[in-house]
């Protein structure tokens, strides 16, 4: 039995039965990372002290002490989530030597349940990208085809999970950065409702969009981790005091009476034919299982990408103002005065995509263009949100493809930012509306590359997603929809 091929919940059961030790799990995983991750490059930092933590777990189990839901299980963390005494670089040169003095709330919650942080995963610099090619430390490769990208910006977390280099990971989702790489790497990626999971300790990209969520091998693992990391946090003013469900209790295969909307705007020209046909075949199977499917319209869908990049870059330009070489991070050695230090530090420390988004964000917030771009984008954001709210008056869930294409080749879109931005075309509107959504992997018949199904629910209805996604997982069985 290769324990690294198992899901988190399967390893947890073996640990609880004492059929395996945490030391065996962690040592096997570290060995695989050292032997194989040089090619994939999913990790930026590997926590060698995880072995010591595993030994402590085994002692707890041996003594019969109470253990947590994730006791002794290694989990990977996207490198924009703060981890005490472990580097957090955001994939950027400007934070190359930054070691946070505190844990993000989600990290504290994982540790309370006994999880072991195995390492920090690669990402697009400050989460700016859809391919993990924008990392200052080099790109991550797709585990299914190493000539292709893993998606982004949580590409390291998705690739590590897809290649069995971790049992689960955390990512962050601003415009699709959990769901899109999960679709490209054939794993489950959950973006919770905005406010469901604390953002305290997440290095901000766009504060009104960002949300942390789990990337896992299956739906059961996603439900378990979401249960643990969710909840009100007084250190995050956007965290809401909404009761957290017992998500693992919704792992049911029954989808009868689910009313499902399928928006025609997501089946447009440009959607890969095989992805379209695969999703259509799955919709037929859902109907046979009792799901009630109807075509709907979300009329303002086409404006989502423009709105997302106007508001997102505006918020990013403000959030990145703190990186100036004064308090922490990289400081240029070449300056004669304070202004020169600011300029040279940012010029040398930030990558090209970060600079591009800061400039664009500053532009749309400037006095001459604020009303023309930023204010208008906020008004259209409300229209997009209203489209979803109107649809959910009649439907329980909305189904769409997660991406319009298969994973693209490394370098294919690197020099064309507009093409790269369109990678988020099916995911960004969920963030604009603050809704929960998940990627469920399906595998292509022709090339064995992953395809993603996106399931979207009303605010704080993650349990509906969990139940439906679990049923889809069972329908797919081998992962393909012929």
The 10 Å Cβ neighbour count of residue 277 is 14
Residue range 193-230, pLDDT digits in tens: 999 999 999 999 999 999 999 999 999 999 999 999 99
Is the peptide bond prior to 153 cis by the omega test (within 30 degrees of 0)? yes
Provide the strand spans (E) within 193-258.
211-216
pLDDT in tens, 111-166: 999 999 999 999 999 999 999 999 999 999 999 999 999 999 999 999 999 999 99
Catalytic (active site) residue 153: yes
Q: Give the residue from 167, 184, 186, 176 showing the smallest Cα distance to 224.
A: 167
Could you give the CA distance from residue 36 to residue 348 in angstroms, rounded to a whole number?
Answer: 32
pLDDT of residue 479: 67
Q: Which of 92, 177, 423, 444 is labelled catalytic?
A: 177
Q: Where are the domains of the chain?
A: 3-250, 306-370
In 3D space, the residue among 302, 160, 180, 219 whose CA is nearest the CA of residue 474 turns out to be 219
pLDDT-based confidence at 415, cuts 50/70/90? confident
**C-alpha closest to that of 183 among 407, 8, 398:** 407
Percent of the chain with pLDDT over 90: 93
Q: Is 27 annotated as catalytic?
A: no
Q: Which CATH superfamily groups domain 3-250?
A: Amidase signature (AS) domain (3.90.1300.10)
pLDDT band at 481 (very low <50, low <70, confident <90, very high): low
The DSSP 8-state label assigned to residue 167 in this structure reads S
Quote the CA–CA distance of 56 and 53 in Å, as a whole number.
Answer: 5
Q: For the segment 45-67, what is each residue's pLDDT rounded down to a tens digit? A: 999 999 999 999 999 999 989 89
Q: Which residues are registered as beta bridge partners of 259?
A: 292
Q: Which of 135, 153, 317, 404 is catalytic?
A: 153
Per-residue pLDDT at 411: 96
Q: Is the pLDDT of residue 478 over 80?
A: no
Alpha-carbon dihedral angle through residues 394, 225, 407, 82, given to the nearest 10 degrees: 120
Query: Per the residue annotation, which of 21, 42, 69, 78 is the catalytic one?
Result: 78
pLDDT at 482 over 70: no
pLDDT, one tens digit per residue, over 343-375 is: 999 999 999 999 999 999 999 999 989 999 999
The total of other beta-carbon atoms located within 10 Å of residue 283's CB is 17
What is the per-residue pLDDT across 382-401, written as a single tens digit (0 to 9) for each?
999 999 999 999 999 999 99
- Residues 344 and 87: their CA atoms lie apart, in Å, by 23
Query: In this prediction, what percent of the chain has a pLDDT beyond 70?
Result: 99
Place of tokens 């198992």: 6
Retrieve residue 390's tokens. Answer: 């109107």
Cβ neighbours of residue 370 under 8 Å, at least 6 residues apart?
364
What tens digit of pLDDT does each residue of 254-286 get? 899 899 999 999 998 899 999 999 999 999 999
Q: Which of 62, 87, 77 is nearest to 108 (CA)?
A: 77
Question: What pLDDT, in 10s, does the model give residues 69-97?
Answer: 999 999 999 999 999 999 999 999 999 98
252 in catalytic set: no
Is the torsion defined by CA of 265, 267, 270, 271 positive or negative? positive
pTM of the prediction?
A: 0.97
């Amino acid at each position: 039995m290769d324990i690294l091929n198992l899901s988190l919940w399967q390893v947890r059961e073996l640990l609880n039965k004492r059929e395996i030790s945490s030391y065996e799990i962690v040592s096997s995983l570290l060995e695989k990372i050292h032997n194989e991750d040089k090619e994939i490059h999913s990790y930026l930092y590997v926590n060698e002290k995880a072995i010591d933590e595993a030994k402590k777990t085994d002692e707890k189990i041996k003594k019969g002490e109470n253990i947590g839901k994730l006791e002794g299980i290694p989990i990977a963390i996207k490198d924009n989530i703060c981890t005490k005494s472990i580097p957090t670089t955001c994939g950027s040169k400007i934070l190359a030597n930054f070691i946070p003095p505190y844990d993000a709330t989600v990290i504290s919650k994982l540790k309370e349940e006994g999880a072991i942080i195995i390492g920090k995963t690669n990402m697009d610099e400050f989460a700016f990208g859809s391919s993990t090619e924008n990392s200052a430390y080099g790109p991550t490769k797709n585990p299914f085809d190493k000539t292709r990208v893993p998606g982004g910006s949580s590409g390291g977390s998705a690739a590590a999970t897809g290649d069995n280099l971790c049992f689960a990971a955390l990512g962050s989702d601003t415009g699709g950065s959990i769901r899109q790489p999960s679709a490209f790497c054939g794993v489950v990626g959950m973006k919770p409702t905005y406010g469901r999971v604390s953002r305290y300790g997440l290095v901000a990209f766009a504060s009104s969009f960002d949300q942390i969520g789990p990337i896992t091998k299956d739906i059961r693992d996603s439900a378990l981790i979401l249960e643990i990391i969710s909840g009100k946090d007084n250190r995050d003013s956007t965290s809401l005091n909404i009761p957290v469900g017992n998500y693992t209790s919704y792992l049911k295969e029954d989808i009868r009476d689910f009313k499902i909307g399928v928006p025609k705007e997501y089946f447009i020209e440009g959607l890969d034919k095989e992805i379209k046909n695969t999703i259509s075949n799955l919709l037929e199977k859902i109907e046979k299982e009792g799901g009630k499917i109807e075509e709907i319209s979300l009329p303002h869908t086409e404006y989502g990408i423009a709105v997302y990049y106007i508001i997102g870059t505006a918020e990013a330009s403000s959030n990145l103002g703190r990186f100036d070489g004064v308090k922490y991070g990289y400081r240029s050695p070449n300056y004669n005065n304070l202004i020169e230090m600011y300029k040279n530090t940012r010029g040398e420390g930030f990558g090209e995509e970060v600079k591009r988004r800061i400039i664009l964000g500053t532009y749309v917030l400037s006095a001459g263009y604020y009303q023309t771009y930023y204010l208008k984008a906020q008004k259209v954001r409300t229209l997009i949100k209203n489209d979803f709210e109107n649809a959910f008056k009649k439907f329980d869930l909305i189904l769409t493809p997660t991406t319009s294409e298969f994973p693209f080749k490394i370098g294919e879109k690197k020099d064309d930012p507009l093409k790269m931005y369109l990678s988020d075309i099916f995911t960004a509107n969920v963030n604009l509306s603050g809704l929960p959504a998940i990627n469920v992997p399906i595998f292509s018949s022709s090339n064995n590359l992953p395809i993603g199904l996106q399931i979207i629910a009303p605010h704080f209805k993650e349990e509906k997603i969990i139940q439906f996604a679990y049923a889809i997982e069972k329908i797919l069985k081998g992962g393909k929809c012929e």
